[in-house]
Amino acid sequence: MRDHLILWLAVIALLAGSVSGCTSRVSEFYTADDFRTVPKIDVHFHYETLDGRYMRLADSLNFRLVSPNVDAGRSISEQLHITTELKKRYPEKFAFFGTFGVEHYGSEDFAGRIISRIDSCMAAGASGIKIWKNIGMTLKDSNGNYIMADDPAFAPVFSYMEEKNIRLLAHLGEPRNCWLPLEEMTLDNDRSYFRNNPQYHMYLHPEAPSYEDQIRARDNLLERYPGIRFTGAHLGSQEWSIDEVAKNLDRFPAYDVEFSARIGHLQYQAITEPGKVRDFLIKYQDRIMYGTDVGVSGRNTNYAATAESLVKRWYDHFIWLATDAEVIVADLNGTPVKGLQLPKEVIDKIYFTNAEKFFR
């Protein structure tokens, strides 16, 4: 009798499930029309101008922006000034990461100076601190040895960040393509970047640390400072293999990633294994964030053209992630890649819930 009851309950549950499945299937996925209205955060958007038009453009598409300062290009004090000002103007819609210079490596009180820089960034409203690939790829000591992120000179800095609960956004290393000859690179944008920036094309610099050295140094930080809330920029430079990204997410609970400037690598893997890429994003839906790595500065004189290409990029990414339509991927030589059609709740997490923490 009891068995019968259980059986009937199971049948009823199954029927109820299939009925609600039918009705919920209607709204399980977003469509292209939802692009403007779904709340979104671009967690890697280099906003290097006080021109508010990009902010208004983003807002019109329900995007909030996170701008990481970076130890490259425009001086870091100028970047801090601009982003501090933007944070004051748009506290709900804009956030930024501060950064520090490393040019004083080897000087007395190297770490102390960095720590006071971190304090001033945080006092200015930063969501955390970004470190960049110059650590590991160009920074050297007086004997010409490359200095990696796990160098003892940085230990007090990371201990401080861990103790003060300061977030770290780390762009360490480069795509693995950087260690390959141009013709073996998987993506056109990597090929053109390294063609134009041979100083960072590590295939040409065999004396420099290897790809594996870069990953090891970063993993050492994750191991030594498990309390740091650590975001791996650009899929933690493991963009070539979602299996590798997954291993690190499994290994380090306080670690998450954003895929700015590396969505093409996800698309590349999705050409042959769409289900695997989709499953990866679903499985790690709480640990992955959307970003582009677009940069806007006062030096961009043509606002209309910049805005148009920005909107197209944001739109194409949304279509690929949220719908099952094909998108033409310029970085893959115009290859069409079918959309992943991630469920709404996964899109919401990747696009904004996971990045809400950057808005304090």
Positions in the binding site for Zn ion (CB under 5 A): 293
Within 10 Å of residue 78's Cβ, how many Cβ atoms?
Answer: 12
Complete DSSP assignment for 154-217: GHHHHHHHHHTT-EEEE--S--GGGGS-GGG-S-HHHHHHHHH-GGG-GGG-TTSPPHHHHHHH
Which of 170/319 has CB closer to Zn ion?
A: 170
For residues 174 and 293, which CB has a smaller minimum distance to Zn ion in the complex?
Answer: 293
- CA 2, chain centre distance (Å): 53
Nearest distance in Å: CB 345, Zn ion: 28
Task: Write the CA distances from 318 to 38, 127, 189, 314, 315, integer angstroms.
Answer: 10, 25, 20, 6, 5
Q: What are phi and psi of 46, to 5 degrees?
A: -80, 100
- Choice between 70 and 217, CB closer to Zn ion: 70
For Zn ion, the closer CB: 48 or 151: 48
Rounded to 10 deg, the angle between the 242-251 and 274-283 helix axes is 20
Nearest to 268 by CA among 290, 241, 248: 241
- Nearest distance in Å: CB 338, Zn ion: 28
Residue 258 near residue 43, CB atoms below 8 Å:
yes
Q: Which of residues 71 and 293 has its CB atom nearest to Zn ion in the complex?
A: 293
Q: Compare residues 293 and 331 and give the one whose CB is closer to Zn ion.
A: 293
Is the Cβ of residue 256 or residue 293 nearer to Zn ion in the bound state?
A: 293
Q: Smallest distance from the beta carbon of 72 to Zn ion, in angstroms? A: 9
CB of 70 to Zn ion, least distance (A): 6
- Residue 72 neighbours by CB under 8 Å, 6+ apart: 132, 134
Give the shortest CB-306-to-Zn ion separation in angstroms: 16
Q: How far is the CB of 295 from Zn ion (least distance, A)?
A: 7
Closest residue by Cα to residue 70 from 9, 132, 8, 151: 132
Residue carrying structure tokens 């004051």:
88
Which residues lie across from 195 on neighbouring strands? none
Minimum CB separation of residue 243 from Zn ion in Å reads 25
